[in-house]
Amino acid sequence: MPDPASASLAPGSLSGRTALVTGSSRGIGAATVDLLARAGADVVVNYRAKAPRAEKVVAAAEAQGVQGIAVQADLTDAASVAAMFAAAEERFGGLDILVMNASGGMEAGMGEDYAMRLNRDAQVALLDAAVPVLRDGARVVFVTSHQAHFIRTTPTMPEYEAVALSKRAGEDALRERIPALAERGIELVVVSGDMIEGTITATLLERANPGAIASRREDAGRLYNVEEFAREVALAAVEPVPADSTRLVGDVSGFATDEGGQA
């Protein structure tokens, strides 16, 4: 497994560019914003409900000498997504990087179809709404998990299956947009990671299935933490896109590929 601290974005390498990260008021999203800001990017911090938390992320970014705004948007609500991109365009003129980090599906009381609405339908609608605001040559990063990416060939724990299936459906739908994006030089890369220590998803899985995280850690040898994985997401925004448009982070030896060997 590669050393997660072996590479990072160079200071100033993203000066003059603007990035929007969904679900970035905490966790992987917030850590990704911090890394992009440290590299010189202006940032749009998207949040669903916790404005003070999002404003703290913006303040930390601005302390790096860049500009930032926090914009509320529920990704399942088309009007608020449209307003988010309008705010980004008004403030910065357009976007160079879109990190599609926000996901969910394990929350209680959201309806049986919530995972699919958020992880597939909302992600496709998000990209479609972003396209007019993305500058030519922009980069789109979709964040997923090995448990979702490989769900067609490797079963996951029952508590996560609905989320995994919906995230893979979202990934597949986004990949269908690659040819159209390429016409403007816009690239899309899927970043797939193992379970990440310290995330809300890991906490919910551990609550539903005690011992799940320790078991996966033992099988994988180690698990990335939030900061380590965020570094990979940030690097995916600038490094060359792999031929299969997939950046795999962490151990994959326990996951089967399809018959053609495609990840």
Question: Is residue 225 predicted with pLDDT exceeding 70?
Answer: yes
Which domains, from first to last, does the chain contain?
Answer: 18-249 (3.40.50.720)
Q: State residue 203's pLDDT score.
A: 63
pLDDT tens digit string along 49-77? 989 999 999 999 999 999 999 999 999 99
pTM: 0.90
Listed ranges 23-32, 156-165, 204-213, 250-259; the one with the highest mean pLDDT: 23-32
Query: Whose CA is closest to 64, among 34, 19, 101, 107?
Result: 34
Q: State residue 261's pLDDT score.
A: 43
Q: State residue 223's pLDDT score.
A: 73
Query: Whose CA is closest to 141, among 24, 262, 261?
Result: 24
Residue, of 198 and 118, whose pLDDT is higher: 118
pLDDT tens digit string along 140-149? 999 999 999 9
Report percent pLDDT > 90 for the chain. 70
Residue, of 6 and 195, whose pLDDT is higher: 195
Mean pLDDT of the chain: 89
pLDDT tens digit string along 145-171? 999 999 999 998 888 899 999 999 999
Edge-to-edge strands, sheet with 246-249: 68-72, 42-47, 18-21, 95-100, 134-145, 187-193, 246-249
Distances (CA, A) of 175 to 140, 162, 171, 245: 11, 20, 6, 9
